[in-house]
Structure 1
Amino acid sequence: MGHQNLWFSHPRKYGPGSRSCRVCSNHHGLIRKYGLNMCRRCFREYASDIGFRKILFLLFRNWGVVKVTVLYLICALQYAGAIVRMDSDDIPEILVASRQNQLIFLTGLDIINNRSHAAVFSAFTVNREVDRPPIDFVMLNGTQTFCESKVRRQSISNFSRGFIRVDWFKKYVSELPSVIVLFADLGWDHPSWNEKATECESKISSLRASIGSHATRICIVLLQQTQLIDNPLAVERTTKLCQLCQLPAKQLFVLPLGERMFSSVLRLETAFHELAQAFYQQCLKSIRARSIPNNLSNLIIRQQFKLAFLSELRQDTHTALRHYKLAYQHCTECETVDREIFELRAVAGLLNYKICQLSFFHSAALEALAQQRRHNNVFFCLPPGSYPSPATASIEHLLWKGKQCSLFANLFERAVMSGLVAVSTQHPGIYLQAAACYYRQANEAITVLNVSSQLAGLVYPSPDPLLPTADIFYGQRPWRTATENGSLLDPETEKNALIALELRCSPNHDRCIALLTSAMSQFKKYKCLRMQRYMMLLLSDEYFVTGQYVKALQFASHLIWECRREGFMQPITMLLLRALICAFRVADVKEFMTLSMQMLNLRTFPTFASITEQIMTNIGLIRQGFPPHIPIPHVNMSSADVEACQHIWKTAFAERVFFSISAPRIDAFIRARVAFLNNTTETVHADSLILLMVALSSYCTKTVFFEKMKIAVSDGSKETEQSPLYEFTEDNVEVNPRKETVKMYKMSLPHSYCTTARQLMVNGLSLEMGSVHSSVYGTLDWDAQSLSYGTYDNSYMNSILDACVGQTTLKIEPREAHLRLEEADQNEALLGEIATMPLSFICEETSPIGSVRLDWSLDAKEEVAGSVVFVNEENQFVSNGTKVLEYRNSQIPPFKVQLNVKYCSQTVCSTNMSVMASIQLDNMTVQKRFLISMRSRLPFDISSKILTINNDVIENPLVETNFFIRADITTVAHIVISDISWRSGTEVEADKDDKILLKNEICCSENDIITVCSPVRFSVKAEERCDLGEINIRWRRNSVLEGWVLSQLNIGSVLVKNSPLSVEAQPQTSYLIVRTAIPVIFTIRNLYNKMIDLQMTLEPADMFVFAGNKKVLVVRFLFSLHRYFSNSQIIFTEAFFIKFRLIEALEKCYNVTMA
C-alpha cells in the first residue's frame, strides 16, 4: 500500500499542542507527513480508495478567522428577500431523507385482475412501519427500461468536468434495482408444471438480457394456495427449477396465500434486504476498483460521494459518514479557479448537509454543530470571486450562505422533533436568524445592482442560457456544460448568460419573512425574549419594504410598548418614525394620533423638537377632519404616493371617526394627577366638605387646547360602575407649556347615602378632542391607578402633587351619633367572679329619637378565645350582648342611658370591650363605637413552705419523714371566705381530717394574710419532684350576699430526696419538769434494701445533760424497726422547746448524717 513506514504521532489529549484527525476528529495516531493530518483509520480508507502516492496537497491556509458581527439595523430602512434564479441549487429530494431506501422491482403480479396478487402487492407496499427494512417496491411494467450500461471512456478531459452528476442519483433510486423479484403461480403438483417452469426460465432470461452487466440479483417467488409440510415433489422440483433458471437455491422462495401470508411477507422482505445488501456491496467494490488520478480532486470527491451514497443504500450510515467527511475534506483542499467557485460551494454545501444529517441521525448533535461551525469558518470567509461579474458573484455568495444556514436549521428542527433537547444558546432559531440576515444582505445588493446596472431596453437572450441540460453536474452553471477543462465559452454566450442572470435578479421578500417568522417562534419557544423582539423589528422592516404597512404598524406599535415596559428607550425613536409613516399610509386615525402624542413628549424624545410644529399642525388638521400633511420632512415618498395617501384619508373621514387613547400606556406629553384635600386625615364623615384638586402639565413647546375635561368620582362599588357618584366637567381646557394647570372642585355626600363606610376615589379623567357631534371625536384617558401621585414618572416636570399633598383615595364614614360615655366606677374583676360594669351614656342628639340599641362584645382586634364571657339576663354565658331601648314619647335630649354589663373573666388578662350604640332618628340611623378597658386579676396570692417538726424551713425533704406544709394566703380585696380545703398530691400522705383547713366563715380585708398548716409525709420511690397539691377556697365579695366562687390555688412542687434511715424521737411522758430525768424513745427504720451496721451517738445541747449511755452499737440491722430507750436521765436547766440533735449512721459503703 505504500503507507507502512509513515511516521505518525500520538497527540496530546488535553492542553496546548493537542491534535485531532481533520476527518473524524478522533485520536488514533495522527499522520502528519505530507501535510495529511489524518488518523491511521481514515488514512487506510483514504489509501484503499484512491491509491496512496506521495503528493503534496495544496491547502488553503491562513484564510483568517471568521468574525461574526451582529448588526442591529435600527435607524435605516432595510430591504430583504430572496432571488429566484441566482440562488444555489437545492438539495436533491433523493438526498433529503436520512434513511435511503433500497430499490426492488416486482414483476409477474396482475394486481388489477387477480385479487390474490393485489393482496400480495399491498402486503409489501401498504402501511410500512419504521421497523421494517427500508425498501421501495416498484411494479415493473412492460414499457420500463433499465439503466443502460455505458462504455467507460478513459479521456481525462471528460473526467475533469464537474463533481457530481445530477442524473447519477436516479440510477440507483429509480432506474437500477438491487433485486428483481419474479412472482409465479406455480404449485409443486401443478398439472402443467413443466410448461410453467419453462415460462419462468424464459422470463428470467429476458430479465438478464435487460440488466446487462449490472449486478442486480434476480429471485423467484412461487405463489401457492396450500403448502404441504412433507411434499415429496418439493425438493426434486426445487432443484430442477433452480437448474433450469440458473439460480441458486437461496434465491427461490415460496409464498403461501392465506391467513399467514403477512408473516411470510415479512420473512421475504428480510431475504430481499440481504440480497440488496450484497448488490450494493458489489457496487462498492466496483467503484473502489476504479483507477483515479490523485491530481484530480473533482474525481476523488466524486468517488467518495458515490461510496458514501451507496453505503447509505446499504444501510451502513457510519461508513457513509466517513466517506462524506473525506469528500468534504477534499473540497476544503481543492484548488479551483474563479469560474468554478460556484460549483465547489454547491458541492461543499451538499456534503456538509449530509454530514450534519447523519450526525443528527447518530444522535451526535455536538458533532453536527462542530461541522457547521467548521463549514462557516472554511467556506463562508472565502472571497466570492468575480465570475460572471463581481456584483452577481457577491449576491450568489450571500444567497449560498443563507441557504446553508436555513438547511442546517431545518435539520436541527427535525432532530428536536425526534427528541433532541435544545437550549437557549443552541437552537434552530439562531441559524434561521443567520439565514434571514444573509438573505437581507443579498436583497440589498440586488437592489443596488438593479439601480446601478444598465438593463433598460435589454431583451432577454434567446435561447435561454439558464435552461438546464440533460448532462449537467450538481452546482454547475447551465451554460458551462459544454466547456472542457474549465475554459470560458465565447464572449457572446458569457454576455448573454450575465444579462439573463441580471434580468432574473429580483428580490423575493417572502422567503426572508418566512425565515424571520420561524426564527421568532423559535426564540419565543426557548425564552429568548430580546431576540424575539429583534426578529419583530426585522419583520417590521420587511413588511414596510414590501408595502404591507398594516402589519409593519402592528409590529412597530407592539415593539414600542415592549421597549417602554423594559426601559429600553434607544430604539423607540426610530420605531415611532417608522410607525408614524405606516399610520399615515394606511390612514389609521387612532394610531396616528397616538404616535403624535408620544412624539410631543420632548422630555423623553428631544430629537423631535424640530418637527413639533408639523406634528401639532397634523393633529389640528385631523381634529378638524382634514387629511394631514407628510408627517416627516424629506421622507422618500413620491407625489403619486402622497396623493394616494390623501385619498385614503379622505375616505376615512367620510364617516364619523371616534378614538380613545390611554395616556399612561403611551407615555403621552400631558401629565394628570388628582388628590383629595382634607388636611392630613385619611377618613372623613358625611356632610364634610371635600376638595378635589386636578393638576395638568405638559412638556410640549406649544399650547394645547381641549374642548372638555371630565372627571369621574366613585366609591368603587358595583352600583357605580355604570354611572359615577360625581362627575365634574370643565369646558375649553388650555394646557400651557412648562406651566401647571390646576382645577379645584367641591363635593359633599348626604347622610342618606353614607349609611356605611365607603372608599372615595377618582375613577377616571378624560380630555376630549372635539365633541360627540363632530366628525372626529377622541379622548385622552387616565385610569384610577395612573392618576395616583405615588407613581413617579421621569418623563415630565415635577408636579405639586409629587409632594404628597392630600390623598388619592378617601375613606368616607357615616356621621357618628352624639353620644358620650361617663367614666365607669369599676373596670376590674377578680378571676372567676361574675362582675357588673355600670355604664352611663349621655345622649346629646338635637332631633327626636325613636330608639337606642346597644351591642357589646369583645374587641375583634384583641379578642382572646374564652378570656371573658358575658352573662345575659337568664344567667347564661354568652359571647356578646344586645339591649334595645324604645323611646315612644320622643324624649328630648340630653338624657342618660344606663347599661349594666355582667361578665366573667376566665383568665387573667387585660382587654377591651366594644360597645356599639345605634340611635334611630327620623330618617336615618347614626352609630358610635366605644372601647372600654377591662382588667382581671387573681383573688389570692399564695406562698408555701416545708417545715420540719422542729419548725425549721427545709427545701428538700426526705422520704418517710414527718413534715409540715405551711401556706400563706394573701387576699387582694374585701372578701368573705367560707371554707378552705387542701387536695394533696398523689405522692403526699396526709390524714383526711388534716385536709380541711378552715370550716367557719371569716371576713378578710385587703392584704390580709391567712396561714394554714398540715402535717405530711412523702412516699416517693425515687428522688423526684413531688406535687404538693392545690388549696380550694370558697369565697365571695363583702358587697354581695350570693355568688360564691371556688378558687383553686396551686401550692407548688418540691424535690424529695431518698434516705437510708428514718428517725423519730418522742419523750416517754407527756409533760416535762425542769431538773428531772425524762426517758426519751428513739424509733429508727431501715429504708435501705441491705443489712447495715449502726453506731448511734447522742450529742447533747447546752440546755440539758445525760444520765445514761451516749453511744449505742446496733449490728445487722435489716428491714426492721429498732427502738432505743435512753436509760440515762436528761436534766433540763431551763424551760424551752426540746430539740434532739444528730444521730450518726455508719455503713460500710457510705455515711449519712440525719437530723
Structure 2
Amino acid sequence: MSVLESSSRTMVDVHHILGTALKMSVSDVVSPMSIYNFEIVTVTLIYVKGYFWHHSLNSYAAIEIKMGHQNLWFSHPRKYGPGSRSCRVCSNHHGLIRKYGLNMCRRCFREYASDIGFRKDWEGVEIMIRMDSDDIPEVLVANRQNQLMFLTGLDVVNNRSHAAVFSAFTVNREVDRPPINFVMLNGTRTFCESRVHQQTVSDFSRGFIRVNWFKKYVSELPSVIVLFADLNWDHPSWNEKATECESKISSLRTSLGNHATRICIVLLQQTQVDSSLAIERTAKLCQLCQLPTKQLFVLPIGERMFSSVLRLETAFHELAQAFYQQCLKSIRARSIPNNFSNLIIRQQFKLAFLSELRQDTHTALRHYKLAYQHCTECETVDSQIFELRAVAGLLNYKICQLLFFHSAAFEALAQQRRHNNVFFCLPPGSYPSPATASIEHLLWKGKQCSLFANLFERAVMNGLVAVSTQHPGMYLQAAAYYYRQANEAITTLNVSSQLTGFVYPSPDPLLPAADTFYGQRPWRAAAENGGLSDPETEKNALVALELRCTPNHDRCIVLLSSAMSQFKKYKCLRMQRYMMLLLSDEYFITGQYVKALQFASHLIWECRREGFIQPITMLLLRALVCAFRMADVKEFMMLSMQMLNLRTFPTFAPLVEQIMANIELIRQGFPPRISIPQANMSLDEVEACQHLWKAALAERVFFSISAPRIDAFIRARVAFLNNHMETVHADSLIFLMVALSSYCTKTVFFEKMKITVSDGSNEAGQLPLYEFIEKNVEISSRKETVKMYKMSLPHSCCATARQLMVNGLCLEMGSVHSFVYGTLDWDAQSLSYGTYDNSCMNSILDACVGQTTLKIEPREAYFRLEGTDQSEALLGEIATMPLLFICEENSPIQRIRLDWSLDAKEEMVGTLVFVNEENQFVPNGTKILEYKSSQIPPFKVSVQLDDITVQKRFLISLRSRPPFDINSKILAINNDIVENPLAETNFFIRIDITAVAHVVVSDISWRPGTEMEVDKDDKILLKDEICCLKSDIITVCSPVRFPMKAEKRCNLGEIYIRWRRNNLLEGWVLSQLSIGSILVKNSPLSVEAQPGTSYLIVRTAIPIVFTIRNLYNKMIDLQLTLEPADMFVFAGNKKDYSHTFIFSRRMVELIGRSADQYPVFFLIGMT
C-alpha cells in the first residue's frame, strides 16, 4: 500500500453527500442515449470504503462525485528558465506537485495517478430508479468498437522516455488511426476466468444475452498485450534482460490461461547497431520467449518515434484482428440446438459484436439482422414478452446504427418502420398485470422512437441531409406521444389502485441479481429455467412495481422541446405549433403555469394571424385557468376580453355573465371567481388561488391592453368628415367621428375615452394638436355608439404642409387613483382600417365613411399672373419675360415679396441660370425685374396680411430650342455626295446652317475632328456679318482628307457660331454645335486626277495626270483601261499594264482635247 493509501481517512458526512446527490440531474447519472428513460423515485445512501454506489433495477453504476486528491498541494515556480523546478514528465513549470517526491505538474498527475498507485476517494449514492426497460448498454452505443489492448513494462513516472511513448499511443487519437483502447496494465488487474462451455438442457430456456458478456471483451479480456522493454541489441547485460522478458511473458501466459490473447514485445532502443547482430539476437529472443518474429518489434526513441508508433499501431491492429477471428471461429464451432431460439439469437449477437470489434461492420450487420429475424419468429409467451421486446429493441438499435454508419439512411428508415409494424402492434400481454404490462409496452415504444431519433440526429450531424417529411423531430414527437399515453395510464392506475396503505416489500424484489440476462425480470433471475418465481415473490414484485409507478412529465417536456426545435429547423411551422400546444399541456399538468400561459398566448396569436380559429377556444380556456392560478391581472383581463367576442367565439355565450362579473370584481379590487366548469380545481386549490389574488390586489395594479392584437370584443373606428376632400386649409371646419360597437350581449361601461389627434410627425416629446376626452362611456351591442367632435384649424398650425391623423384611442377602466387602473388602446394603424362583419346592415365602422388622414395646406395668396405670352427661348441667350401680378386680396396688404428658385422636381435642373441686375449668375433671389432663360422655374409670391403670411406658387413653363439646325455632307471632287468616304482621298465637307429665328451672324468657325486633315486657313468659314431671317440657310464648304489606317467612324468636329437677335444691338451669344460623324472605309488604291495647267482652252491639248498610290502592304499588278467620253479626244494607249510596290506612287499622263468631264478610268489589280 502506498503512502497515500495508508494515510488516515475521515468518514464523509452523510448529509453532505446526500445533498450533493440530490442536486445532480438525471443526465449526470445515465448515458446520453438513455437520458429520457429514467424516473427518480427514492434516494438511499450506501457507503462502501472509498466509494458510494448507485443501484438501479438491473445494473450497478458508480456516480462520480469528484472530491479531488486530498492532501496534495502544489506550488508555482519562483522563476522560469534553467534551474527552475519543472515537471519530470512534460518539463513545464505550472503547478508543480512536490509532496511525496512526485515533482509532477497537475496535468500529468491527473493522467498518471492511477498508474503510480494513487486513487481518488469516490463517493456515490444509491438512487432507486424506475426503468422503463433495459437501456442500451454504454459499450454498444459507439459506432466503432475499440479493440482492447494492455500495455505493460512502462514506468511513466520515473522515466521520461516511457511517458513520451505512452502519450504517443494514448493522447490526441485522430479518427484515421485504428480504433484501439490502450490501457496500462498494473499489478492488481485480473483477467476473466476461462471456462469450458458445457451448457445443459436446463440452461437452454434461460434468457437471450448475458449482460456481462460483451463487457468482458471491452474492459476485461484484451486482444493484445504489449510488453515494453528497454533493451538495445548491444546491451552489456543482454542475456539477463532477455531472461527477464521471458519470465514476464511466462507470467502473462499463466494469467491468461486458455484465452487466445496475442502477446508481443516492443524493444525501446536508443542506438542502432549492425544488422547481423540484430538478426542473431532477434532469433534468440523469439526462441527464448516462444514468440514468432512478427510479434517482436523495435521502437527507436528519438525524433521519428511518432511515425514508428503509427506503424506499431497498424501491426497491433492486425494481431487484434487475428484474435477476434479466433474468437469467431470458436463461437461458430459450438453446436446450438435449432429448437431454442434464444440460443440462436445469443450466438448471432456474439458473432455480430465480435465482428464489430474486428471492424467488419458489414458482417456484423448481417448477424444482427439474422438475430432480429429470429426475434420476429419467436413465440410470444406472456411471461417472456418483456425480455423479448428488450432484446428486439437492442438489435434494432444496432441495425439502424450500422445502417446509418454505412450511409444507408433509407434502409435504416425502412428497418424502423418494420420494427414498428412487427413489435408495436403486438399485444402488451397481462404479466405481471394487464395495467402494468400496458404501461411497460407504451414506455418501451416511446424509448424505441427516442433511440432512433437520437441515431437519426447523430447521422444528420455527420452529414446526412434530412428533409421536412423525414427528420428526427417526427420520431421525437412519436416518443413523446407514447410517453404521454403512458403517463395517462399511470395516472389512471394510481387513481384506481387498491394499494393504499401497503408497505414496500422487503427484501426488495426489484434488486438485480449478479448474473442476469438483458431485459430479464430481476425477481426471476434465480428461478429455475427462467420461469416464474413463487407466488409470494410474484405478488411482492407486482406491489413494488405499482408503488414505484409514477408519471414522468419532465421527460415528455424534454422530448417535445427537442421535437419543436427539429420542426423549426426543417420549416414545419404548423407541427412546431402543435408541439407548443402539447408543451403547454405538459407544463399545465406539472403546475408550471407561467410557461403554460406563455405557450398558450403565443399559440393564440399565431392561430389568429393565420385565421385558424378552431383551436383558439380551447387555448383561451387553458390560458384563463393559468392566469387565474397565477393571479395575473393583466393576462386575466386580456383573456376575458377576448372571450367576450361572441362574433368569433359564440361558444362562450353561456359564460358571458360570469366573465363580466369577474371583470367588475377586479375593477373593484376583489378577487375573481373561477368561471370555467372544466377547471377541475379542488376547494383547497381555489382557496390558495384566492389568497394569491388578494395579495396581488393589495397593491395598486396598472395594465394596458392592445385591443387590435387580441381581437377584443369592442371594435372602434375614427374618421374625418370633410365633404370628400383630402386637402383642407386654415379656417376650415373639420368633424371627427368616433364609432364604437360591442360584440358582447351585455352593456359595457368605461370611465373615460380619450382621443388624440397629431400632425404625423415623429418628434419625441411633441404634444398632440387636439385631445378629446369623453367621460362615462357606455357601449351596447344593439346599437353603435357614435361621438362627433368639431375642430377648427388656426393659421398658426397651417404655416407649413402637414398631415392630420388620429394618433390613438384609449378606453380607461378606473382612474389613476383607483387600486385597479387599466386601458384598452388602439393605435393609428388599427383605427384606419374598417371592420367588416357578416351582417346585412351597413355600418359606419366600415371603411367606406370618411377619411382616416387629412392633408393640411397653407392658404394661398389671392394673386393672378399675366404676361406669359412668350412661348419659347433659344439655348444660350438671356431671355427677358415681363410678368404682371394682379392682387385680388380683400384685406389690406403690408408687404409683398417675390421669391424664385429652381424646381427640384424637374429633371434638367442644371440647364437654367439666373442673371441679376449686376449681370451675375445667382441660384435664386427675392427681387428681380427681368429673367432671360431657356427654362423658367416656379415663382412664389408671399403676401403678409395683418400678421398672417400667405403664399401662392406659379409654375411658368417655356419651350427652349437650339438657335440653328446643322446638316453636313461629304462631297467628292465632282460634287457627288459620298456616304462612306475613303481614306487618303481628298473630299469636300459642306455644312448647311438653318436659322430658326431672325438673327444676325457675325462669324462662323470650324474645329475639325482629331482624325481629319484640314488647312489652317480653311477652319475660318465666315468672317463677315450676315443678317438672317427665319429659315434662311448658310452654306459653308472646306476641303478635307481622312488619313486613317483602319476602318472606323470619324468625328467631323464642331461649329462655333457667334450670333444675336436682330432686334438687339447687344447680347452676342457663342453657340457650339456638333456636326456629327461619318464611317470612313479603307481602299487598297487611291487615284487622284490633276490637269497639267491651271487654265484650260477648248480644242487645245490638255495634259491630265492620274496619280495612283498603293495603300496595301503588298505589291499590286495593275491593268489600266481608259474609256473615253463622247466629247473627249485622247492620244496614247487605251490599255496599259504596270505594277506598284508597297506604299509607292505611279503617275499616268494623258493628252486630251475637250471641255467635258474626264474620261472614265478603270483599274484592275492583282496582288
Alignment of 1:860-875 (within 5 A): 860-875=904-919
Q: Pairwise mapping of residues 960-1109 of structure 1 onto structure 2 (< 5 A)?
A: 972-973=997-998, 999=1024, 1002=1027, 1010=1032, 1035-1045=1059-1069, 1091-1094=1120-1123, 1096-1097=1125-1126
Structure 2 residue corresponding to 1:695, chosen from 739, 745, 750: 739
| Alpha-carbon distance in structure 1 between the residues aligned to 2:515 and 2:1054 | 118
Distance 1:719 1:1017, change over 3 A: closer
Counterpart CA distance in 2 for 1:1011 and 1:278 is 111
1:926-941 matches, cutoff 5 A: 926-937=950-961
Shift of 1:135: 3.0
Q: Name the aligned partner's letter for residue 207 of structure 1.
A: L
Task: State yes or no: 1:883 paired with 2:926.
Answer: yes
Shift of 1:578: 1.0
Residue 668 (structure 1) shift: 1.1
Superposed CA deviations along residues 200-232 of structure 1, whole A, max 9, x for unmatched, are: 5554444333322222233445566x4452499
Matches of 2:670 and 2:987, distance apart in 1 = 116
TM-score by length of 2: 0.76
Q: Which residue identity lines up with residue 498 of structure 2 in the other structure?
A: Q
- Give the Cα separation in 1 of the matches to 2:241 and 2:1132: 136
Deviations 1:1088-1107 (A, max 9, x none): 98643546547xxxxxxxxx
Distance verdict in 2 for CA 1:485–1:1116, change over 3 Å: same
Q: Kindly provide the CA deviation profile for residues 810-857 of structure 1, in whole angstroms up to 9, marking residues without a partner as x.
A: 233334445443334545323433221122334566788775443323
Question: Cα 1:838–1:359, aligned 2, differ >3 Å: closer, same or farther?
Answer: same
Is residue 832–residue 852 contact of structure 2 (8 Å, CA) maintained in 1?
yes
Which of structures 1 and 2 has the larger relative contact order (alpha carbons within 8 angstroms, sep 6+)?
1
| Secondary structure of the corresponding residue to residue 835 of structure 1 | coil
Separation (CA, whole Å) in 1 of partners of 2:313 and 2:1052: 98
Partner Cα separation in structure 1 for residue 444 and residue 379 of structure 2: 19
1:395 aligns with 2:439: yes
Please, which moves more after superposition, 212-221 or 464-473? 212-221
Separation in 1, partners of 2:781, 2:276: 114
Contact 1:580 1:631 (C-alpha < 8 Å) held by counterparts: no
What displacement does 1:1043 show? 1.8
Aligned residue in 1 for 2:551: 507
Query: Equivalent residue for 2:207?
Result: 162
Q: TM-score, normalised by structure 1?
A: 0.77
What residue is the counterpart of 1:410 in the other structure?
454
Q: Deviations over 1:46-89 (max 9, x none)?
A: xxxxxxxxxxxxxxxxxxxxxxxxxxxxxxxxxxxxx9636121
Task: Tell me by how many angstroms 1:610 deviates.
Answer: 2.0
The secondary structure found in structure 2 opposite 1:883 is coil
2:933 paired residue among 904, 925, 931: 904
**Counterpart of 2:130?**
85
**How many pairs align?**
1011
Rate the CA distance shift 1:293–1:841 in 2: closer, same or farther, 3 A: same
Residue 365 of structure 1 deviates from its aligned partner by 2.6
Counterparts of 1:222 and 1:967 in 2: how far apart (Å)? 109
Superposition map of 1:454-473 within 5 A: 454-473=498-517
Q: Which residue of 2 aligns with 1:96?
A: 141
The equivalent of 2:750 in structure 1 is: 706
Q: Deviations over 1:966-1010 (max 9, x none)?
A: 97957645x5566789999999999989997895665x77x6x64
Query: In terms of mean alpha carbon deviation, does 1019-1028 or 557-566 score higher?
Result: 1019-1028
Letter of the 2:960 partner, please give it: S
* Alpha-carbon separation, structure 1, partners of 2:279 and 2:1021: 123
Question: Is the 8 Å Cα contact of residues 757 and 811 (structure 1) preserved in structure 2?
Answer: yes
- Please give the residue correspondences for 1:1134-1149 in structure 2 after superposition, counting only pairs within 5 Å: none
Aligned to 2:622: 578
Distance 1:801 1:633 in 2: 36
**What is residue 649 of structure 1 aligned with on the other side?**
693
Q: Determine whether 1:354 maps to 2:398.
A: yes
SS of residue matched to 2:474: helix
Query: For the structure 1 residues 1026 and 235, does the alpha-carbon distance in structure 2 shift closer, same or farther, using more than 3 Å as the test?
Result: closer
The answer as to 2:1134 corresponding to 1:1116 is: yes
Alignment-mate amino acid for residue 157 of structure 1:
S
**1:175 alignment counterpart:** 220
Taking a change above 3 Å as real, the CA distance of residues 1082 and 208 of structure 1, as seen in their structure-2 partners, is closer
Equivalent residues in 2 for 1:317-396, closer than 5 Å = 317-396=361-440
Structure 1 counterpart of 2:255: 210
Comparing 793-802 with 706-715, greater Cα deviation is found at 793-802
Deviation string 1:644-687 (CA, Å, 9 cap, x unpaired) is 21121111111111111111111111112222233333333334
For 1:343, the aligned partner's letter is E
Higher mean displacement: 182-191 or 1046-1055:
1046-1055
Deviates more, 1:961-970 or 1:934-943: 961-970
Does the Cα contact within 8 Å between 2:1132 and 2:1150 map onto a contact in 1? no
Query: For the Cα contact (< 8 Å) 1:1029–1:1052, is it kept in 2?
Result: yes
In structure 2, the partner of 1:560 is 604
CA shift, 1:237, in A, is: 6.1
Determine the C-alpha separation between the residues in 1 that align with 2:966 and 2:264: 116
- Aligned mate of 2:343, from 289, 292, 299: 299
Distance 1:1084 1:90, change over 3 A: same
Q: 1:398 to 1:229 in 2, by over 3 A?
A: same
In structure 2, give the amino acid aligned to 1:913: P
| 1:971 to 1:659, Cα distance in 2 relative to 1, 3 A | closer
**Is 1:134 matched up with 2:179?**
yes
| 2:825 pairs with 1:781 | yes
Measured at CA, do residues 160 and 987 of structure 1 come closer, stay the same or move farther in structure 2, by a change above 3 Å?
A: closer
Gaps of 5+ in 2: 1-127, 1109-1117, 1137-1146
How many angstroms apart in 2 are the aligned matches of 1:1049 and 1:190? 107
Work out the percentage of aligned pairs sharing the same amino acid: 76
Change beyond 3 A, Cα 1:987–1:703:
same
CA distance in 2, matches of 1:162, 1:609: 63
Residue 707 of structure 1, CA deviation: 0.8
2:197 matched to which residue of 1? 152
Query: Per the alignment, do residues 903 and 128 of structure 1 end up closer, same or farther by CA in structure 2, a change over 3 Å counting?
Result: same
Alpha-carbon contact 2:450-2:479 (below 8 Å) kept: yes
Q: Is the deviation greater in 300-309 or in 439-448?
A: 439-448
SS in 1 for 2:675: coil
Measure how far apart 1:140 and its partner are: 4.0
Aligned partner letter, 1:1041: L
Structure 1: distance between partners of 2:1080 and 2:310: 95
Given that 1:219 and 1:251 are in contact with CA atoms closer than 8 Å, whether structure 2 keeps it comes out as yes
1:737 CA displacement: 0.6
CA–CA separation in structure 2 for the residues paired with 1:1028 and 1:490: 120
The equivalent residue for 2:702 is 658
How far has the Cα of 1:577 moved from its partner?
A: 1.1
User: Compared with structure 1, are the counterparts of its residues 983 and 414 closer, same or farther at alpha carbon in structure 2 (3 Å cutoff)?
Assistant: closer
Q: Is the CA contact (8 Å cut-off) linking 1:955 and 1:1054 kept in structure 2?
A: no
Distance 2:314 2:976 in 1: 108
Q: Distance in 1 between matches of 2:883 and 2:351?
A: 110
Per the alignment, in what secondary structure is the counterpart of residue 660 of structure 1?
strand
Matched, 1:437 2:481: yes
Question: Larger deviation: 918-927 or 409-418?
Answer: 918-927
Give runs of aligned pairs for residues 1127-1138 of structure 1, distance below 5 A.
Answer: none
Letter in 2 for 1:900: L
Query: Which residues in structure 2 correspond to 1:486-501 (within 5 Å)?
Result: 487-501=531-545
Task: Describe the shift of the 1:900–1:85 C-alpha distance in structure 2 as closer, same or farther (beyond 3 A).
Answer: same
Provide the C-alpha distance between the structure 1 equivalents of 2:500 and 2:989, rounded to a whole number of angstroms.
Answer: 131
Give the distance between the partners of 1:915 and 1:384, measured in 2 at CA: 94
- Find the aligned partners of 1:1029 and 1:185 in 2 and give their Cα distance: 98
- Could you tell me how far 1:779 is from its partner in structure 2? 0.7
**Contact 2:970–2:981 under 8 Å retained in 1:** no
State the shift of 1:358 in Å.
1.9
Task: Please list every run of 5 or more consecutive structure 1 residues that lacks an aligned counterpart in the other structure.
Answer: 1-82, 885-898, 906-910, 1071-1077, 1099-1109, 1127-1139, 1150-1155
Say whether the 8 Å CA contact 2:192–2:221 is kept in structure 1: yes
2:259 and 2:896 map into 1 onto residues whose CA distance is 117
1:64 aligned partner: none
Report how far residue 306 of structure 1 moved.
0.7
